[in-house]
Structure formats: structure tokens, C-alpha cells
Chains A and B, each alone.
Chain A
Amino acid sequence: MKTLYTLIVHSENIAGLLNQVTAVFTRRQINIESLNVSASSIKGIHKYTITAWCTEDEIKKVVKQIERKVDVLQANYFTDAEIYQHEIALYKLATPGFQANPVASKIIRRHAARVVEVNPTFCIVEKNGMSEEITSLYEELQQFGIVLQFVRSGRVAISTSCFERLNEYLAFREEKYNKEKKDEKYD
């Protein structure tokens, strides 16, 4: 069964790595739904958040093949239940249409979105939230035919597990290296 998985990848900050990560999806003929790349909380380490529809068997293989790249530190996959995730979306609405439909501003308030710019031609509404909320705000506004443009970011996600896998991994690698060095000395 296909599920929307979120992949979180940590890598060294090396040019060309994004290519290598996405190529794994291409080779396995899996479409990437969204992709977000940014610096992580650890200096020099980049974080990729990728979503894709696929089977668990596929995502497991994808994760292993991404992790196989020598500059990738770690790759893990999550279902929506295992992460807290957010997106941001911007909606550009036609001001005359917006004013003519008082329900529209109620909808915006109900969705906890905010108007960030207004001029006589258009206004811009900003919303952050879960994917479905963002889609549903779009659909509700669109029924008035007033949406001129709609953009949404890729997903940013954080795992809800108590383990900080990356920190643990880095500590483990250092420890193993030091131990091997020590063993070598005594050999």
C-alpha cells in the first residue's frame, strides 16, 4: 500500500549532494512530492526533508541507498504519525472579490490565517499549518473564484521521538574511531 512518507536526511554540506539524493528517487521511479533543504542545527550539516508516496518496501530501499552515499550521515523515514510537520502557504486574492464576499474573511479567521498585505488590486494571505489545512483553505477560498495565485512550501518536519538520532550517531562514530585508534596502538 502506498503511504506518504517523510524522509529526513542529514548530510555533510558538500556541493552536488542534492543531486545524489534525488537521483535515488529517479532511479527507482518514485516522484518526490515536496523537498526542503536547509542548514541543520549542527554547523556544517545540512538537512533534507523529502516527502514521497510509496510502499514501505520501496522507502526502506530508498533510505538505504541514500545512506550509502559516503557524505550522507543519516537517513530515516517516518509516517505522519511519527513526526510533527508544518508547511507555509501564501494565497493571493483579488481585492474586489474578497470585499464582495464577507464570508471569505470569516474563513480566513477560522483558519487562523492572516492578511499580510492589502492594496486595491490584491491582498496576500499567509497560513502555516498541516498540509490538509492548507489545501482546505485554498479550496474554500477558491469557491468564490478569488484566488489569483497560491503557493506552498515543502514540508518541514521534526520527529516526535525522544531519541536525537543524529547526535547519537555522531557521538557513536567519534567513540568508535577513538576506540579503533586505541586498539591499533595496542596491537
Chain B
Amino acid sequence: MNQQITGAEALMRSLEHQGVTTLFGYPGGSIMPTFDALYHHKDTLNHILVRHEQGATHAAQGFARVSGEVGVCLVTSGPGATNTLTGIADAMIDSTPIVVISGQTPTSMLGTDAFQEVDLVSVTQPITKWSYQIRSAKDVALAVARAFFLAKNGRPGPVVLDFTKNAQTEMVDYEPMTVDFVRSYDTNPDPKEGALEAAAALINQAERPLVLVGQGVELGDAQTELKSLVEKADLPCGCTLLGLSALPTEHPLNMGMLGMHGNLAPNVKTNECDVLIAVGMRFDDRVTGNTATYAKQAKVIHLDIDPSEFNKNIAVDVPVLGNCKRTLKALTELVNEAKHTTWIESFAEYDKVEQARVIEPEIHPTSGPLNMGEVVRAVSEATNNEAILVTDVGQNQMMAARYFNYSKNRSIVTSGGLGTMGFGMPAAIGATFGRPDRTVCVFMGDGGFQMNIQELGTIMEQQAPVKMILMNNNYLGNVRQWQAMFFGRRYSFTPMMNPDYMQIASAYNIPARRVAEREELQDAIREMLATDGPFILEACVIEEGNVMPMTPPGGTVDKMMLEC
């Protein structure tokens, strides 16, 4: 018989059995036995001590998004657990596989309002794929195996394990467990009979096809399969915010970004195409604008692994259920080689308009303060368009998404669905651990930078090579832009008094440089990228810069505003 071990030790071995090498966490009362067990596993489990549990969840998200592995958090009960909620909700809406393990009061004290007790399972049920309380050490192996299986298979998402203190200290016979089947949940569903044939028939008849590329392509690791399909049938593509790096920016069929602040051509063409092929995307309202006027003329084909996405926001003519790695491959075999030259060329006239009226003035201004887009494009080019882009939320996010160029898969980490300010810095930390071989650049505004600013401590301690670009405009810029456009320029609580970020950087011993002059920008970026380890580049950008073009909320995708 094996020697008995504690539940906490069983957790360590279960994590190792799942192939976990990195976790992000913060200790506290109810998780102490587990942290004690972790002390003896420091060689195999690299624990990154964050400065706030929200930071742990975003770091785990960043880790997961760039590596394709499950991100893991380890936190205590009560406030430790509730601090993870924003990250869990963010992971749910953006389909990011993370497992959050939190301490919990002993089973005997559950329901007594014990110190740092919160009913985490109930609280997290609506924002997780699965939320489970481990009440006994003998549950550990199965719960962990099931948690990892559910987090990463099918449509990925967050899982919570609420680990009672008695389960951490009880002794148990441990056997490693693997879950590869949950009878109530099909992780690899099949398309309905005839669906692929129907989709292929529509594509083969199409004169003006348009593909919408979503994050599902990256999650399904189907970038090659997507390219094969669109190249064979000559299908122009627009990418969602989270799908931007699923197809290289420079690919001739990539027509740019969809959505509220996306590119003009793919948005306008959405309402001109005859067949719309949505791949691993969910018709978010930031993509569709007013659904009553969205792509009404088109037959809609929707490829998704989650059947609840079909007809949720947009009526679908041909739903194709399944992992898009499989369905795209099958579809490629069924479609004919085709050319849609005239249709594809028709995108160019909108591209030209946007280039002349929006893009050129934004990235190549000749006078005035620095522009946000100018800073983003300069950083992107200086990394040879090969870096991982992480963004915070707001104008910095839209500018970064628009003006960064992507040449590699899994190169954009941003909070799309939830729009979480404060996401950027911790997510970038996670990304440096997920892909230590790649450069990680995070763009933040002065608002978001301060919303998880404590993670500078984590960066300092880990010497995480995060290249932080703070685009400081002394405003909560996105809200200010809306106030300017829709609220009569009443700047209600959007101007911000800022600290001296250079002093903050120096307090954390992080190399930093402030740049306000156009002539200095290139050199500052060069210095940032040449510096080993972390760097803060503060770009003093135009105070009242606006992100354009724009489909106002509830507006129609083919009526984007180019100026405001």
C-alpha cells in the first residue's frame, strides 16, 4: 500500500500530473496547508507571487492565451476568492482556460459565516464552466483531473475548485487520475449530417463571400486550416478583436478588423456580401452594431464548437457544429477552387479612404503631440511585427489592436468580452511566462495602468521582461471620447491627475523613459527593446485623441463615422 499523503500534497501531485509548471497565487489562512505543500515542490511548480488576486487571474489568462495551456491560480478563501471574480468572468466571456483553486473554511464550519467564508461555488456558477467544492481529500485527484479536462476541452473556460481546509490536511491514498470523458458534455461534437455539404454549396455559389475570423480559430489551433480554406476558395476575411492574429495581417485576403473601431472595408462589406462565413466567433454587439440591419442580404454559415452560439444573436442559415480544426479541413475538401477578384478588389476603395482620412494622419502626423496610433505602429515595426501584443482596455486597446501588425499565431491578448481595465499589466506578466521565447509588449492608458499598478511589484521580483508602453493622455480617454461625441463634451470625471510615473518606475527599480517628442520616439523604443527585463516607456500622447473610424453603439456597420 502507498504511504498516505495529505490532500494538499495530493493537489501538488495532481497538478504535476496535469503537466502544470507555473501557477500564479497569493497565500492566506485557508490555503496555508496547500502553500506548505507547495514549499516542497518549488523545483517543479514555479509559483509566481502576485500582489493582488485579480492580478493572479489575469496573469493566468495571459499565460493561457499565449501558450494554449491551462493557467492556474492559487488563492485563499473569502476576499482572496472574491478578488478573482473579475478574472474568472473575463475568462468565461473570452473562453480562456484557467483553473482557480481557492481555500475554503473547513467543511464543519461551512454555512456558519466563519472567518473569510464566502459561498464561492454559488457565486461563481454563472461565470464558470464548472465550479466544485472539494470537501474531502479523497476527491482531490478526480476533481483536479475533471477541472483540467473541462477547462481546456470543448469551448475552453474557467473552472473553480473550492478547496476546504480539512480536505487539505486529511490523509489519503493517492493515485493519479486522468479524465478524458464526461458523458454529459461532448467536447468534440459532430456537425449535423449534410451541414458541411450545405455550407460548401453556399460557398461554391457565392459571388461575394466574406469570412469572419474569430478566436475559435486560435483556440482550435486551426490557423493553417483556415488559410487553406480561404486560399482555395479565394475568400476575403475580416478578423474580430480576439481573432486578429489567427491570420497574418499581411495576408492578401486579410481585410482587417471587424467591429465598432475596426477597419472600414470589412465592416462595409459585411452588408454587401452574399455569403457570410463566421468561424469561431459569436456575433458580439461590438461586432454587429444594430443586428436589425446586420448582413440582412447574406446567407450566414456559422462554424462553432458551442451549439448555443447558433442563432443567439444572428439568424444562421447553415450551422456547422464542431471544432473548427476539423470542420474547416472538411470544408476545404468540399469547396471548389475559385477566384473572386472583382469582389476582393472592391475592398480597396474603402481601404484607400480609411488610409487617407484616418490611418495616415494617425500614424504619420507631422506636427502636434504624439498620437497613440503612431506609438503603436512604431513599436510594432521595431519588433518586426513579431511581438505578442497585450493591451489594457479603452482607447489604448483599440489603437493597439488597429495599428499593431501580427505575423504569428496567438499574438494578441486583450480583454474583449468583459472589457476589464487593469487587465493589461498582469496579463502581460502571464504572457512572459507562457512564451518566454517571445517579446511581450503591453499597451496601457494612464487609467488602466493604475488599476493593477501593484503588479509592478511582481514584475520587479520576477524580472518579468514586460515591455510596458504607457500612453498617457491624462484622461480616461475612451469615456472622454464618448462624452465628447454623445454627451455634449461634458467631461464628467474623466480628466485625471497623474503621479510621476518615472518616480514610480524608479521605486520599483524598473528602467523607464518618458518621451514627448516625435524625434525621440524611435530611440526610446529601441532602448526599451534593447533593455533586458522589464521597461516602462511613458509616451505623452495627445490629450483629446479619438479612435476612429467608429460605428456608434446601435449603429449600422456600413455607416461608420470617419471623423467626429
Do A and B bind? Answer: yes
Q: Are A67 and B308 in touch, CB under 8 angstroms?
A: yes
Measured in the bound complex, the distance between the Cα atoms of B125 and A27 in whole Å is: 13
Instruction: Decide if B308 touches A64 in the complex (CB within 8 Å).
Output: yes
B129 interface hit (Cβ, 8 Å):
yes
Q: Find out whether the CB atom of A71 lies under 8 angstroms from the CB atom of B184.
A: yes
In the complex, whether A101 has a CB less than 8 A from a CB of chain B is: no
Interface residues of B in 118-152 (CB under 8 A from A): 121-122, 125-126, 129-131, 150
Q: Tell me if B185 counts as interface (CB < 8 A to partner A).
A: yes
**Docked pose: A65 CA to B306 CA in angstroms:** 10
Interface contact A174-B183, CB-CB below 8 Å: yes
- A19 contacts B125, CB within 8 Å? yes
Query: B186: CB under 8 A from chain A?
Result: yes
A103 contacts the other chain (CB 8 A): no
Q: Across the interface, do B121 and A70 meet the contact criterion of CB distance under 8 Å?
A: no
Determine the main DSSP class of A at the interface with B.
helix
Q: Is A170 part of the contact surface with B, judged by Cβ < 8 Å?
A: yes
Instruction: Select one of A11, A20, A68, A174 contacting B125, CB under 8 A.
Output: A20
Min C-beta distance of B22 to chain A, whole Å = 25
A177 touches B308 (CB 8 A): no
- Contact check, B184 vs A70: say whether CB atoms are below 8 A apart: yes
Q: Provide the bound-state CA to CA distance between A12 and B183, in Å.
A: 9
Say whether A73 faces chain B, with CB atoms less than 8 Å apart: yes
Chain B window 458-490, contacts with chain A (Cβ cutoff 8 Å), 1 for yes, 0 for no: 000000000000000000000000000000000
Tell me if B311 counts as interface (CB < 8 A to partner A). yes
Q: A23-B125, A61-B312 are in contact. Are A68 and B306 (CB under 8 A)?
A: yes
Picked from B121, B130, B150, B181, the residue with its CB within 8 Å of the CB of A177 is B181
Q: A173 near B130 (CB under 8 angstroms)?
A: no
Q: Mark A52-73, 1 if CB is under 8 A from B, else 0.
A: 0000000011001101101111
Q: Which residue of A lies closest to B119 (CB)?
A: A16
A19 engages B122 (CB within 8 Å):
yes
Verify A173–B186 contact, CB threshold 8 A: yes
Question: Which parts of B177-196 form the interface with A (CB within 8 Å)?
Answer: 181-186, 188
Asked whether A140 is an interface residue with its Cβ less than 8 Å from the other chain, the reply is no
Using a CB-CB cutoff of 8 Å, which residues 36-61 of chain A contact chain B?
60-61
- CB closest chain-B residue, reference A184: B180
Q: Complex formed: what's the CA distance from A71 to B129 in Å?
A: 10
Bound-complex Cα distance A23 to B124 (A): 12
Q: Would you call B79 an interface residue if the criterion is a C-beta within 8 Å of the partner chain's C-beta atoms?
A: no
- Chain A, interface size category, equals 20 to 34
C-alpha spacing A64/B316, complex, angstroms: 15
Interface centre among A16, A68, A70 (most CB of B within 10 A): A70
Whether the Cβ atoms of B122 and A70 lie closer than 8 Å is: no
Q: How far is the CA of A20 from the CA of B307 in the complex (A)?
A: 18
Q: Is the Cβ of A64 less than 8 Å from the Cβ of B307?
A: yes
Contact A70 B181 (CB under 8 A): no
B308 cross-chain contacts in A, Cβ below 8 A: 61, 64-65, 67-68
Taken together as a complex, chains A and B put the C-alpha atoms of A64 and B182 apart, in Å, by 18
In the bound complex, residues from chain B placing their C-beta under 8 Å from that of A16 are 121-122, 125, 131
Cα(A23)–Cα(B125), bound, Å: 9
Which residues, 257 to 314 on B, are CB-close (under 8 Å) to A? 306-308, 310-312
> Is A133 part of the contact surface with B, judged by Cβ < 8 Å?
no
A178 to chain B, nearest CB (A): 10
Binary contact readout B224-242 vs A (1 if CB under 8 angstroms, 0 otherwise): 0000000000000000000
Report the nearest B residue to A23, measured CB to CB: B126
Query: In chain B, what residue has the closest Cβ to A27?
Result: B126
- How many Å from the CB of B306 to the closest CB on chain A? 7
Instruction: Output the nearest chain A residue to B181 by Cβ-Cβ distance.
Output: A177
Question: How many Å from the CB of A139 to the closest CB on chain B?
Answer: 40
Q: Does A82 contact B (CB under 8 A)?
A: no
Q: Is there an interface contact between A180 and B130, defined as CB atoms closer than 8 Å?
A: no
Please encode chain A, from 132 to 155, with 1 for each CB lying within 8 Å of some chain B CB and 0 for all others.
Answer: 000000000000000000000000
In the complex, the answer to whether B184 meets A12 with C-beta atoms within 8 Å is: yes
CB-defined contacts of B310 to chain A, threshold 8 Å: 64
Q: Given the complex of chains A and B, what is the CA–CA distance between A120 and B121 in angstroms?
A: 51
Contact A72:B184 (CB < 8 A) given known A19-B125, A20-B125, A23-B126? yes
Chain A residues near B188: list those with CB within 8 A: 180
A61 to B310, CA, bound (A): 9
Candidates B122, B150, B183, B307; contact of A173 at CB < 8 Å: B183
Q: In the complex, what residues of A have CB within 8 A of residue B306's CB?
A: 68
A163-187 interface (Cβ within 8 A of B): 170, 173-174, 176-177, 180
What are the residues of chain A within 8 A of B186 when measuring CB–CB?
173, 176
Chain B residues near A27: list those with CB within 8 A: 126
Cβ-closest chain A residue relative to B187 = A70
Q: Which residue of A lies closest to B306 (CB)?
A: A68
Complex-state Cα separation, A60 to B150, whole angstroms: 25
**In the bound complex, how far is the Cα of B129 from the Cα of A23, in angstroms?**
14
Q: Which of B122, B150, B185 has the most A CB atoms < 10 Å from its CB?
A: B185
State in angstroms the CA–CA spacing of A23 and B127 once bound together.
11
How long is the Cα–Cα vector from A170 to B129 in the complex, in angstroms? 21
Between A16, A27, A73, the greatest number of chain B beta carbons within 10 A of the residue's beta carbon is seen for: A16
List chain A positions with a Cβ less than 8 A from chain B. Answer: 11-12, 16, 19-20, 23, 27, 60-61, 64-65, 67-68, 70-73, 170, 173-174, 176-177, 180
5 new A-B contacts at CB < 8 Å, known A61-B311, A176-B186: A16-B125, A64-B307, A70-B184, A72-B184, A173-B186
The 10 closest A-B pairs by CB, nearest first: A64-B308, A70-B185, A73-B184, A68-B308, A173-B183, A177-B181, A65-B308, A20-B125, A70-B130, A71-B184
8 contacts between A and B (CB under 8 A): A11-B184, A23-B126, A64-B310, A64-B312, A71-B184, A71-B185, A173-B186, A177-B181
